């Protein structure tokens, strides 16, 4: 059985910022427990999905062994667990810096699950996709949700938060040659870097109530900042440059080395970006966003955009609900933290 010859899907895979990230320490299973507020931004990779007999991934702007490519791993996982014999040509065009703390690989993996679910017309629910996403990485489930969320536990216990609207992010990235960066950074943490999560929970509390202000957004931390300043040469210089250029505050995202600050309007962000021009790093100006653009063409019926600022370029009619194919994990029990719709 092959995919419909006319169906093509194109999706954006957004980057994310950790507005606050605390490490609470390792649990009994050895995994670190975290509390973090994540938010997607408009900076995004682009993935296109086209039908063909075999599975193939083409990466533009990224030279990565196939076994380390999360797009390939996500596609093979969905293919194996659903039992489908369909193939696809997946083209990934990178815009998010690799190994930056911006979540590009995790976002690409989540977007692959969504895109192939559409292309192959599997009709899998979000809960089933979430169960698959958890096997690919701690951040992958968040990118099925997008927008803003509080993540706890290993980072995959999610509670949706209202998106932070109208704010712009100035992101500075220093290229690094550190391999297996996340594991390396966790290895640099000491007991002094662990906290109780209260700052992150306080930020989530304010956002949940729509209390967004410069003071609230400045209220956050990143447990990896001390380790990152040791691990990445030039990071302290970059941080000081951002402050001297007028950034109200500077924070690490993820395990770094990308740094960011938030400003209330584009003009302020443009001015800050201009002041930070340097061959030593790359600077992005991007907005906080709830949902990136998506396009589907072919036998699916396109609908009109949701309206100005929605970020949805086109939407497709939902396929009929089907029985879950053999081998797919059962969806997790619905909890308040996972009971989002749309």
Residue 333 forms part of a structural domain: no
Q: Confidence class of residue 29 from pLDDT cuts 50, 70 and 90? A: low
Give domain status of residue 132, yes or no.
yes
Say whether 114 is catalytic: no
Q: Which of 45, 139, 156, 273 is catalytic?
A: 139
Q: Which tens digits make up the pLDDT trace of 306-326?
A: 232 333 333 333 333 444 444
Q: Is residue 282 part of a domain?
A: yes
Evaluate if residue 27 carries a pLDDT over 80.
no
Q: Which residue has the higher pLDDT, 1 or 68?
A: 68
| Contact between 163 and 39 (Cβ < 8 Å) | yes
* 20 within 8 A of 44, measured Cβ to Cβ: no
- CATH code of the domain in which 77 resides: 3.30.230.10
Q: Is residue 225 part of a domain?
A: yes
Taking residue 290's Cβ as centre, other Cβ atoms within 10 Å add up to 18
Q: Is residue 174 part of a domain?
A: yes
Please report the sign of the dihedral spanned by the C-alpha atoms of residue 280, residue 225, residue 183, residue 101. negative
- Domain boundaries, position 301: 8-323
Percentage of the chain modeled with pLDDT above 70: 81
Residues in the chain, total:
342
Strand extents, DSSP E, 228-333: 251-252, 259-263, 282-287, 294-297
Instruction: Encode pLDDT of 210-256 as tens digits.
Output: 999 999 999 899 999 999 999 999 999 999 999 999 999 999 999 99
The pLDDT tens digits for 275-297 are 999 999 999 999 999 876 555 55
pLDDT interval class at 330 (50, 70, 90): very low
Strand pairing report for 55-60 and 32-50:
unpaired
Number of domains in the chain: 1
Residue 329 included in any domain: no
Examine residue 335 and state whether it is found in any structural domain, yes or no.
no
Q: Does the active-site annotation cover 139?
A: yes
Rounded to whole angstroms, the Cα distance separating 83 from 105 reads: 25
Using the predicted structure, report yes or no on whether residue 338 has a pLDDT greater than 70: no
In tens, the pLDDT along 130-167 reads 999 999 999 999 999 989 999 999 898 999 999 999 99
Exactly one of 16, 114, 181, 273 is catalytic; name it: 16
Is residue 253, in this structure, part of any structural domain at all? yes
């Amino acid at each position: 059985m092959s995919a419909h010859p006319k169906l093509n899907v194109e999706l954006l895979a957004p980057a994310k910022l950790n507005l606050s990230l605390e490490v609470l320490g390792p649990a009994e299973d050895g995994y670190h427990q975290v509390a973090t507020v994540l938010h997607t931004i408009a900076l995004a990779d682009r993935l296109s999905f086209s039908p063909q007999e075999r599975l193939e991934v083409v990466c533009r702007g990224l030279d990565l062994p196939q076994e380390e490519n999360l797009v390939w791993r996500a596609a093979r996982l969905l293919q194996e667990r659903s039992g489908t014999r369909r193939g696809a040509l997946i083209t990934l065009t990178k815009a998010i810096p690799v190994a930056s703390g911006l979540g590009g690989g995790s976002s690409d993996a989540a977007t692959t699950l969504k895109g192939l679910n559409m292309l192959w017309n599997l009709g899998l629910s979000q809960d089933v996709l979430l169960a698959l996403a958890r096997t690919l990485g701690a951040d992958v489930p968040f990118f099925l949700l997008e927008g803003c969320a509080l993540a706890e536990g290993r980072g995959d216990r999610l509670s949706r938060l209202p998106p932070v609207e109208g704010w712009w992010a100035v992101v500075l990235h220093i290229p690094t040659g550190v391999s297996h960066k996340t594991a390396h950074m966790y290895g640099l943490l000491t007991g002094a870097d662990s906290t109780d999560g209260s700052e992150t929970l306080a930020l989530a509390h304010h956002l949940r109530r729509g209390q967004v202000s410069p003071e609230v957004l400045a209220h956050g931390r990143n447990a990896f900042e001390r380790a990152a300043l040791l691990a990445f040469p030039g990071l302290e210089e970059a941080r000081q440059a951002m402050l001297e250029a007028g950034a109200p505050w500077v924070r690490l995202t993820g395990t770094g080395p990308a740094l960011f600050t938030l400003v209330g309007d584009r003009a302020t962000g443009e001015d800050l970006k201009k002041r930070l021009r340097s061959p030593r790093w790359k600077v992005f100006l991007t907005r906080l966003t709830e949902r990136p653009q998506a396009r589907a063409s072919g036998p699916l019926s396109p609908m009109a955009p949701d309206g100005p600022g929605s970020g949805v370029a086109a939407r497709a009619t939902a396929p009929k609900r089907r029985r879950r194919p053999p081998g797919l994990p059962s969806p997790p029990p619905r909890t308040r933290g996972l009971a989002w719709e749309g």
